[in-house]
């Protein structure tokens, strides 16, 4: 089967394919293409399948909306908890480097800015549209990250954060 046929099958016949056949088809594609399908496929179940195939750990019942970008160099550095909700346009960055730029040779850049650290999004967390989560961050269970927030520090469980950089807005209580 040609790659064009494979991509057409993955994009338009997802609900007709058993998981074993999806695995077979994705094994014939470059990981970049499978990750792109994870980010752009129209079906949540299928998006999660493609992300999992590229090393993202995703809990049961999680929802990952379209256009979510996960940068971890396919190294398994991103973990998304059960029932977590990731809105459209979220960026999860676990691996950051200046690529081919000569600035990567600078000592400060190498020691402080080139980072590869696990990102964990806890069970029942809600990440708002367009939020950016930087390397090494843990979003606690039941936490809420406001739309457009830039998360530079860990977020405690059942805490709402917003802004750039993200700051605590309030704590959630069981009675709320």
Mean pLDDT, all residues of the chain: 90
| Listed residue (59, 87, 84, 70) closest to 141, CA to CA | 84
| Listed residue (45, 85, 52) closest to 70, CA to CA | 52
The last residue of one of the domains, among 54, 76, 99, is: 54
Query: At residue 176, does pLDDT exceed 80?
Result: no
The pLDDT tens digits of the residues spanning 77-87 come to 999 999 999 99
- CATH code, domain with 119: 2.160.10.10
Query: What's the whole-number mean pLDDT along residues 43-71?
Result: 94
Query: Rounded CA gap, 35 and 31, in Å?
Result: 6
**Same domain for 47 and 60?**
no
Residue 11's domain comprises: 1-54
| pTM of the predicted protein model | 0.86
């Amino acid at each position: 089967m040609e790659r064009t046929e494979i991509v057409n099958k993955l994009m338009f016949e997802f609900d007709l394919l058993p998981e074993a056949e999806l695995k077979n088809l994705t094994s014939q594609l470059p990981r970049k293409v499978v990750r792109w399908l994870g980010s752009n496929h129209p079906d949540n179940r299928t998006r999660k399948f493609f992300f999992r195939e590229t090393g993202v750990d995703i809990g049961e019942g999680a929802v990952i909306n379209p256009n979510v970008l996960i940068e971890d160099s396919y190294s398994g550095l991103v973990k998304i908890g059960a029932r977590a909700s990731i809105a459209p346009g979220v960026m999860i960055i676990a691996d950051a480097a200046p690529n081919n730029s000569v600035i990567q040779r600078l000592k400060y850049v190498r020691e402080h800015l080139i980072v590869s650290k696990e990102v964990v999004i806890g069970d029942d967390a809600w990440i708002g549209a367009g939020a950016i989560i930087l390397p090494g961050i843990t979003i606690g269970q039941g936490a809420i990250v406001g739309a457009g927030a830039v998360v530079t520090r860990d977020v405690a469980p059942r805490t709402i954060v917003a802004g750039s950089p993200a700051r605590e807005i309030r704590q959630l209580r069981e009675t709320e």
